Structure 1
């Protein structure tokens, strides 16, 4: 299904995942989770996710390269500084944490299954094609980077 590779903007995937999580919570209601500070955990996950994603964008801007995930061919530099020293995909990781925060906020365990779907989709249709292009474009430098920095965390 290469037809879906790099075709759906990741922000749309995030919005769809959040919507599916809400729909799941509505269709499969359950008792709210009973732990002391679920709201604070939800806010913290969203905030940490946002900070990680923004750190990725900042590193791209510092390197003067595109942050457009739909066109990795337009990359003019291999970014390996800042947050990219710890994760190859801070924006997708940030979105995942924000979605996890949303899942905690809605308090529905079945809804959290969509996080797995998000990771599988982003890996297959966004990250793998991006990395294929980056390997072609940056060669050994990308292979060395990939060897030392994990995809998600």
Structure 2
């Protein structure tokens, strides 16, 4: 008979690499849209903060496109649900800055959405996205890539940050 922690661990591992990160980002964005304006009176942003959504969006799209470009250039899979199908370890270009530029891009896009919505609670959206993606996408990817690429990937993990 399994104890409670085994059940929780097995249940949690079921989510590993199951939901495409862009779908997670869209779900989080939808939840952000539906969040109430609670706390709006306590936190009043200057009007220029609303406009910071544009540079955040531009940076997010830049990270996304730069990551996709490098994967395309090295002819390796961009499918995050099948990290074991990676054919190349990409450490050049934007991958010198972060091991996960496409996830950084999605998080920045969610930050842009939060700034645009101008509701303080929406700032929890990018944080929730990053927590979910770290646990259920990045950590399983890292294990798969360590299995595929061994020491070169371990060295890459030590020399390049997971996020920024």
TM exceeding 0.5: yes
Gaps of 5+ in 2: 1-11
1:21-69 deviation digits (Å, cap 9, x = unpaired): 111136x373584424234310110111001111000000111101110
Q: Does 1:30 align with 2:51?
A: no
**What TM-score, normalized by structure 1, do the two folds share?**
0.94
* Runs of at least 4 residues off by over 6 Å: none
Question: 2: CA distance between counterparts of 1:67 and 1:21?
Answer: 27
Q: Which region of structure 1 is more displaced relative to structure 2, 65-74 or 111-120?
A: 111-120
Q: C-alpha root-mean-square deviation of aligned residues, in Å?
A: 1.4
Equivalent in the alignment of 1:43:
54
Tell me the SS of whatever aligns to 1:4: coil
1:91-139 deviation digits (Å, cap 9, x = unpaired): 0000101100100000111121122211110000000000000000000
CA gap 1:125/1:38 in 2 versus in 1, 3 angstroms:
same
CA gap 1:40/1:87 in 2 versus in 1, 3 angstroms:
same
Question: 2: CA distance between counterparts of 1:117 and 1:111?
Answer: 10
Tell me the SS of whatever aligns to 2:36: helix
Question: 2: CA distance between counterparts of 1:25 and 1:49?
Answer: 25
Equivalent in the alignment of 1:125:
136
Equivalent in the alignment of 2:70:
59
Equivalent in the alignment of 1:19:
30
Question: 1: CA distance between counterparts of 2:15 and 2:83?
Answer: 15
Preserved CA contact (<8 Å) 1:135 1:142: yes
User: Which structure: larger Rg?
Assistant: 2
CA gap 1:57/1:90 in 2 versus in 1, 3 angstroms:
same
**What TM-score, normalized by structure 2, do the two folds share?**
0.88
Tell me the SS of whatever aligns to 1:77: coil
Gaps of 5+ in 1: none
Number of equivalent positions: 152
Equivalent in the alignment of 1:149:
160
